[in-house]
Structure 1
Amino acid sequence: MFRPLLRATALVSALALVPLATSGLAAVENDTYKELDEFMNVFERVRAEYVDKVDDKTLIKGAINGMLSSLDPHSSFLDATDFQSMKAQTDGNYGGLGLTVSMEDGAVKVITASEDTPAYRAGVKPGDYITHLNGQLLFGGTLDEAVEQMRGKPGTPVKITIVRPGRDKPFDLTLTREVIELKPVKWEVKGDVGIININSFSKNTGAGVRGAIVGIQKTLGHRPTGYVIDLRSNPGGLLDQAIEVSDVFLDHGEIVSQRGREKNDIERYYAKPGDDTGGAPVVVLVDAGSASAAEIVAAALQDHHRAIVMGERSFGKGSVQTLLPLSTETALRLTTARYYTPSGRSVQEGGIEPDLTVPQLSDPDYKTRPRFREADLRRHLVNQAKVDNAVLEEDLKDDPRFKLTSEQLEKQGVKDFQLDYAVKTIARLGKLPAVQTAARGK
C-alpha cells in the first residue's frame, strides 16, 4: 500500500536512522544516503532562506517532477487535478479545446488536434507552437500550467497566438471552449468501401470498431469490398483497446509483446480465432501523429500481412506507461516496459514505415510543415536495435505519382488525398476474383 506523497519528507529523514541490516535497505549503497542527505539539505535551506515562503507541498512536488523528468518524456507525477484530468481523457469526455500538446524548450507545441473539436475546426495543425493565450505570453511555465490555462468553462472564448513553421508571421485564432466528448470511432461508406476512423483508444474503442463493421455491412446490405482504418493523428491510449481492435481483423498470431527491465519480464498478447471482416482487404492510414496504441494496431496488421499501411512514418512511441496509484487522489505515470511488434521490432524512435508513402497533397502546408515525433523529444528512450537510417530518411521524397497540387485537388473535389487514395486502392483490390467472392460472403 503506497503512502501519500506528502509524507516524503518524513520518509527521507527516517532513512538515515534505519540500520543497514533492515530488510530492503541492506543493499543500498552509502552514496545513496549521501545523495538523500544532500537533498534534505537543499530542502531545508530553501524552506528557511528562499525570498518568499514556500510550502512543503510545492517543494516536494517540484522535486518529484524533477526526478521523473530526468527519466523520459512520458513519466510524470499526477496530483489530484492531473489525476482527474487523465481519467476524464481516458473516458473520452473532458472540457477544453481538444489539443494534445507537449513542452519544447519552454514553448507549447501541438502534437495533434482531435477531430471534431474547437482546435481541429479552427485549423490548428501538428507542429504549431502556441505562444500566447488571450495576449498573455505562454512561455517558461510547466506543461500542466499551460494545459490548465487552455481549459475553462464551456462556452467561453479564448484567443490563441500560433507560430507555424513555414509562415512568416504569427497569427491569432479565437476558439470557444466546449465539453470535449471524443467519439473514439466513427464510420462511413464510400462506394463499396467501409471507412473506420479511430480517433483515440479509450475504454470503448474496441466495441466501437466492432459496431462500425456491423453498421457498414447493414448499410451496404452485404460485406464491403474492404476497409480503410484511419489512424491518422491518433495519439494512442489504452493498450487493451489496441489489442482488441487488432483482434477484430486478425484470427491468429501474436498482436504485441511488452518487455520490462528483466529479460524474463515479457508479456505477450495473442489474437483469438475469428476475423470480423471475413478477411476483406484492409488499408491502414497513419501519419506523424499516429502514436502508441495506434502504432500497435498498424504494426500488428502490417507484420501479419493483413493490411497495407499507407501514409507517412508514424510518431515512434514504443514505450508502455503504467498508472501506479499513490493515494486516492494521486498517481505515478511511469514507463515500465517497451512494446514490440509480432516480428520482434520496436517502433521506438523510428516509428512505422508505411508500405506505401502517400503525402497529404490536399494540405497546402504539407511540404513546409515539420513533422514532430518521439525522436524529437528530449530524453526519449533509445531504440537499441534501430537501423542507422531508420529515423533519418526523408518522409516525402518526390514521387511521380504524387504531382497534383492542393489547388488542383480542390477543383477535383478531393479534400483528403490520403483517404481518397486509400479508398481507390481498396476499390482496385476489389476487382480481384478472390476478393469479390469474399465480399459476397462465399
Structure 2
Amino acid sequence: MRIAWIAAPVAGMAALVGALAWSAPEEPGRGDIYRQLELFADVLARVEQDYVTEINEEEAMEAAIQGMLASLDPHSSYMNAADYREMQTQTRGEYGGLGIEVTSEEGVVRVVSPIDGTPAARAGIQAGDYLTAIDGESIVGLTLNDAVRRMRGEAGSSIVVTVAREGTDPFDVTLQREIINVRAVTARVEGGDVGVIRISTFNERTGDMLQDAIRTVRRDTGGRLRGVVVDLRNNPGGLLDQAIEVSDAFLDGGEVVSTRGRQPEDVQRYNARRGDDMAGVPIVVLINGASASAAEIVAGALQDRNRALIVGTDSFGKGSVQTVIPLQGGRDGALRLTTARYYTPAGRSIQGAGITPDMEVAARRIDAEQIARLQRLGVSEADLPNALDNDSGAQRRAVHVPEDMPPENWDADEDYQLKRAMDFLRQGTVAERLRQRAG
C-alpha cells in the first residue's frame, strides 16, 4: 500500500493524500505521516507552478523516491522499468557496459570492484576509485542509476571517464563499451597439484560454472590434487542463492548462512546438502577489501564450519540482504529494499565488520603513510553514508600494517597472496591450522 502511495501519478497526489487522511485509522503518529504527505504534495504543486522552468514530473518523482530510499542505507534504491529490465539482464551474466560494480558515496560514484576481463579491469580501474565525470561532464550529485545509465551505451562506442584516486591528481581513462559476458568462474592448475578456482561474481550461472571448474581441476591434476585455492578477491557479490550453492559444493551438510529481518520471527536458515564435492581436499579462500556480500557469505561459512583457511586481508563488510520487489508486476519498475542482515553459521553479523582472515597476507607492501591515507579515504561498508550498524557491536579492524607482506624486491607482476596460499597448501599449514581450530 505504501508503495502505491509513493508511485501514484503526480496529478493525483493531492487527492490521494486527502483520501488517505480521511480514511486513515487513528493510530499514534499516523497523523504526522499524512501531514508530511500533504506537505510533499504542496511542495510539488509549488514547484510545478512557480519553478523557473517547466519540470519533468516523472523525473521529479523518481528523484523524490530515490532520496527517501538513499536516506535509509547505501543499498536501497528504486529502479524504473528500464533499470529493472537491465538489472534482470545483468544477473543473467550478459549485459552491455564497462564491467564495473559501483556504489554512491555522498553524491560521488565509488568503485566497489571492476569485473575480471572487462574494459574497466583492463584499463586499470581499481576498487576505491571515484568516478567524477563522463565525457567531460560531471556526474557528481547524480543518482547512482543516472550515473550508471550514462556509462552504458552501444557496444563499440567509446567513453572517457574521469577518475579521482587517493594520492594522485584526477585523470581521464578512455574505455570502449562492450557486451559484457561475465565468466563468473574460471579454473586452472598450478604446479600440477594445486587447483585455482577464481569466482569473480555471483550471477545465475555461478553454481553451474563452479561444478565445471571442480571437474577441470580434478581432471588436470590427474589424481594428484593437493589442495584448492578459491579466489574471491575483488568479488562484489551478487545472488544469495548462488552463494549458498557455492558453499554447498564444499560442505558436507550443515548451516551455510542465516538471515534475520525486522521482526524476531523473520529468521531463515539455509543449509548445505550432504556430500562435499571436493571430498575433504584442503581449501584456501582468498579475500581482500573488495570481497563483498555473497563472497563474504562463502568465506564466513567455510571459516565457521572449519572447512577452509581464509587468507588475505579483511573483507568489505556488506552484511545486508536486498530484496527486489516488482511494482505493478514490473511495469512501474521495482524496489530494491534492504530487508535483512545475514549471519555466518556461528551467528556473526558481517555488517560493517567484514571477515577477518585466519592468515593475514597483503598483496603489496604498505607503510604508515599509506595507512593514514587509507584511513582518511575509508575502505569499507562502514564508511558509506547511512550504512547499517552491526547489531552485535562488531567492528572492522582499523587499517594497519599486515603481518605478512611481499619482500622489498618482490616483482609487482607476481601474485604474492596466491603464492602464499599455495605455500600453505603444499607445506601442510592448512590442514594443521584447521586441526588446531577444531581442537
Under a length normalisation based on structure 2, what TM-score does the superposition of the two structures give? 0.89
What pairs with 1:395-410 in structure 2 (closer than 5 Å)? 396-399=400-403, 401-405=404-408, 407-410=409-412
Q: Structure 1: which 5+ residue stretches go unaligned? A: 436-442
The aligned counterpart of 1:172 is: 172
Taking the aligned partners of 2:115 and 2:56, their CA distance within structure 1 comes to 37
Superposed CA RMSD in Å reads: 2.6
The aligned counterpart of 1:339 is: 342
The aligned counterpart of 1:283 is: 284
Q: Is 1:56 equivalent to 2:45 in the alignment?
A: no
Taking the aligned partners of 2:21 and 2:110, their CA distance within structure 1 comes to 48
The aligned counterpart of 1:384 is: 391
Aligned letter for 1:408?
W
SS in 2 for 1:85: helix
Taking the aligned partners of 2:284 and 2:277, their CA distance within structure 1 comes to 15
Shift of 1:106: 2.8
Taking the aligned partners of 1:432 and 1:260, their CA distance within structure 2 comes to 36
| Correspondence for 2:382 among 372, 375, 379 | 375
The verdict on how the C-alpha distance between 1:310 and 1:423 changes in structure 2, with shifts beyond 3 A counting, is same
For 1:8-42, what per-residue CA distance to the aligned partner results, in whole angstroms no more than 9, with x for missing partners?
A: 543663343358776xx453722222112111111
What pairs with 1:153-302 in structure 2 (closer than 5 Å)? 153-167=154-168, 169-191=169-191, 192-222=193-223, 224-302=225-303
What pairs with 1:110-121 in structure 2 (closer than 5 Å)? 110-121=111-122
The answer on whether the counterparts of 1:259 and 1:339 sit within 8 Å (CA) in structure 2 is yes
The aligned counterpart of 2:437 is: none
For 1:376-433, what per-residue CA distance to the aligned partner results, in whole angstroms no more than 9, with x for missing partners?
A: 110010112123xx32422x4253x43513x5325xxx62111111122111129979
Aligned letter for 1:295?
E
Taking the aligned partners of 1:138 and 1:56, their CA distance within structure 2 comes to 21
Shift of 1:260: 0.7
Taking the aligned partners of 2:416 and 2:53, their CA distance within structure 1 comes to 57
Shift of 1:297: 0.4
Q: Is 1:84 equivalent to 2:67 in the alignment?
A: no
| Correspondence for 1:13 among 11, 15, 25 | 15
The answer on whether the counterparts of 2:17 and 2:38 sit within 8 Å (CA) in structure 1 is no
Taking the aligned partners of 2:315 and 2:106, their CA distance within structure 1 comes to 23
The verdict on how the C-alpha distance between 1:16 and 1:206 changes in structure 2, with shifts beyond 3 A counting, is same
The verdict on how the C-alpha distance between 1:17 and 1:157 changes in structure 2, with shifts beyond 3 A counting, is closer
The answer on whether the counterparts of 1:362 and 1:409 sit within 8 Å (CA) in structure 2 is no
Deviates more, 1:99-108 or 1:182-191: 99-108
Percent of residue pairs bearing the same amino acid type: 43
The aligned counterpart of 1:417 is: 416
The aligned counterpart of 2:352 is: 349
Aligned letter for 1:382?
D
The verdict on how the C-alpha distance between 1:75 and 1:431 changes in structure 2, with shifts beyond 3 A counting, is closer
Taking the aligned partners of 1:166 and 1:242, their CA distance within structure 2 comes to 35
The verdict on how the C-alpha distance between 1:218 and 1:4 changes in structure 2, with shifts beyond 3 A counting, is farther
For 1:165-213, what per-residue CA distance to the aligned partner results, in whole angstroms no more than 9, with x for missing partners?
A: 122x222322211111111111111020111100111011111111111
The verdict on how the C-alpha distance between 1:4 and 1:386 changes in structure 2, with shifts beyond 3 A counting, is closer
Under a length normalisation based on structure 1, what TM-score does the superposition of the two structures give? 0.89
SS in 2 for 1:16: helix
Taking the aligned partners of 1:373 and 1:160, their CA distance within structure 2 comes to 23
Shift of 1:296: 0.4
- Paired residues, what number? 423
Shift of 1:99: 1.2
The answer on whether the counterparts of 1:258 and 1:267 sit within 8 Å (CA) in structure 2 is yes
For 1:311-366, what per-residue CA distance to the aligned partner results, in whole angstroms no more than 9, with x for missing partners?
A: 11111111111010003331110111111110011000011111111100289998
The verdict on how the C-alpha distance between 1:36 and 1:344 changes in structure 2, with shifts beyond 3 A counting, is same
Taking the aligned partners of 1:57 and 1:391, their CA distance within structure 2 comes to 41
The aligned counterpart of 2:324 is: 323
The verdict on how the C-alpha distance between 1:54 and 1:359 changes in structure 2, with shifts beyond 3 A counting, is same
Aligned letter for 2:104?
M
The answer on whether the counterparts of 1:409 and 1:415 sit within 8 Å (CA) in structure 2 is yes
The answer on whether the counterparts of 2:309 and 2:430 sit within 8 Å (CA) in structure 1 is no
Deviates more, 1:415-424 or 1:226-235: 415-424
SS in 1 for 2:410: helix
Q: Is 1:393 equivalent to 2:426 in the alignment?
A: no
Taking the aligned partners of 2:260 and 2:430, their CA distance within structure 1 comes to 42
Shift of 1:253: 1.4
Taking the aligned partners of 2:247 and 2:36, their CA distance within structure 1 comes to 46
Aligned letter for 2:16?
A
Q: Which has the higher contact order (CA 8 A, sep 6+)?
A: 1
The verdict on how the C-alpha distance between 1:125 and 1:371 changes in structure 2, with shifts beyond 3 A counting, is farther
The answer on whether the counterparts of 1:362 and 1:417 sit within 8 Å (CA) in structure 2 is no
Shift of 1:81: 2.1
SS in 1 for 2:391: coil
The verdict on how the C-alpha distance between 1:221 and 1:67 changes in structure 2, with shifts beyond 3 A counting, is same
The answer on whether the counterparts of 1:6 and 1:57 sit within 8 Å (CA) in structure 2 is no
The verdict on how the C-alpha distance between 1:371 and 1:305 changes in structure 2, with shifts beyond 3 A counting, is farther
The verdict on how the C-alpha distance between 1:146 and 1:11 changes in structure 2, with shifts beyond 3 A counting, is closer
Aligned letter for 1:174?
T
SS in 1 for 2:202: coil
The answer on whether the counterparts of 2:103 and 2:110 sit within 8 Å (CA) in structure 1 is yes
SS in 1 for 2:142: coil
The verdict on how the C-alpha distance between 1:31 and 1:210 changes in structure 2, with shifts beyond 3 A counting, is same
What pairs with 1:29-68 in structure 2 (closer than 5 Å)? 29-68=30-69
Taking the aligned partners of 2:14 and 2:427, their CA distance within structure 1 comes to 66
The aligned counterpart of 1:361 is: 364
Taking the aligned partners of 2:158 and 2:241, their CA distance within structure 1 comes to 36
The verdict on how the C-alpha distance between 1:40 and 1:220 changes in structure 2, with shifts beyond 3 A counting, is same
Taking the aligned partners of 2:294 and 2:231, their CA distance within structure 1 comes to 13
Taking the aligned partners of 1:398 and 1:377, their CA distance within structure 2 comes to 23
The answer on whether the counterparts of 2:362 and 2:406 sit within 8 Å (CA) in structure 1 is no
Taking the aligned partners of 2:252 and 2:370, their CA distance within structure 1 comes to 37
Deviates more, 1:369-378 or 1:10-19: 10-19
